[in-house]
Amino acid sequence: MRHTLPIAPQFYVTAPQPCPYLEGRMERKLFTALQGDNADKLNNSLSQQGFRRSQNVLYRPSCAECSACLSARIDINRFRPSRSQRKIARRNDQLVRRATSPWATEEQYELFRRYLDVRHADGGMADMDVFEFAAMIEETPIRSRVVEYADPDSNALIAVSLTDVLEDGVSMVYSFYTPDLPQASLGTYMILDHVEIAREAGLPYVYLGYWVPGSQKMGYKSNFSGLEVYLGGAWQVMTDPKSHGADLHPLSTDPIAEQVANIHLPDRRPTRR
């Protein structure tokens, strides 16, 4: 009998598009498909190298003349909540957390639409319909959960996070919440609660996606102690966020071929389930 090994993942580059974080700059991504028996292994390995998941694709910024976007994660062993974060946790401690399989619901979509209309009306997801939303939630070849937060009295849905479970942490793929409670700081609360989720599971990290120096949309991530950023091919402890700048030098990004050559791929033998 002839035996074959699974084909190694192929990497591609997106066409340049306007950057949502730095005006006048073009954004480009390096990506690969997430599928097959090795999906969990590939997701774990590339997440540890600064990649993020979107449905069945793993991607990492690879802009030609910019390296501003830095993958960020919280080391929960070094995390210490600030005074304001402790207040936010107490303010929301009555919310009921429920983790479910990655299935989309009408209630989730209605909350998602209200969140976008108020917070990101001009963003890339503004035109997402219910079918595209369902695909975002449900098209996952790995271990994912929908973490919902509900009002204990009315049972109304208040906040949602699509969360992946990695071998070394939890990854907040996308989160949204009611725009009617700005004083609750629900975005911060969900991160604080995911620190607790990771701690309860014995996992060391909470992956937050990308942080961009000077970006108002991403600035809140630097408010968490124990933060690390993926820079220069390794995770580095963030000391002073102001010490990081948007590197716009034309030589700040390695050529695509060199980037791909430096990616560490997992053992390609299929994972036994």
User: How much is the pLDDT for 82?
Assistant: 97
- The fraction of the chain above a pLDDT of 90, given in percent, is 62
Distance in Å from the first CA to the final CA of the chain: 23
pTM attached to this predicted model: 0.90
- Poorest-pLDDT segment among 17-21, 148-152, 239-243, 255-259: 239-243
What are the φ and ψ backbone dihedral angles of 249, each rounded to 5 degrees? -70, 140
- What is the pLDDT confidence band of residue 8, given thresholds at 50, 70 and 90? low
**What SS3 class is residue 184?**
helix
Residue 268: what pLDDT?
59
Least confident of 10-24, 82-96, 191-205, 226-240: 10-24
| Range with the largest mean pLDDT of 18-22, 115-119, 173-177 | 173-177
- Tens digits of residue pLDDT in 152-189: 999 999 999 999 999 999 999 999 999 999 999 999 99
Residue 161: name the closest of 193, 198, 185, 120 by CA: 193
pLDDT tens for residues 138-155? 999 999 999 999 999 999
Distance CA(63)–CA(248), nearest Å, equals 10
> Residue 207 pLDDT more than 50?
yes
Instruction: Report yes or no: 159 and 190 within 8 Å, Cβ to Cβ.
Output: yes
Residue 236 has pLDDT above 70, yes or no: yes
pLDDT at 227 over 80: yes
How confident is the model over 2-15, as a mean pLDDT? 69
Segment 17-34 mean pLDDT: 85
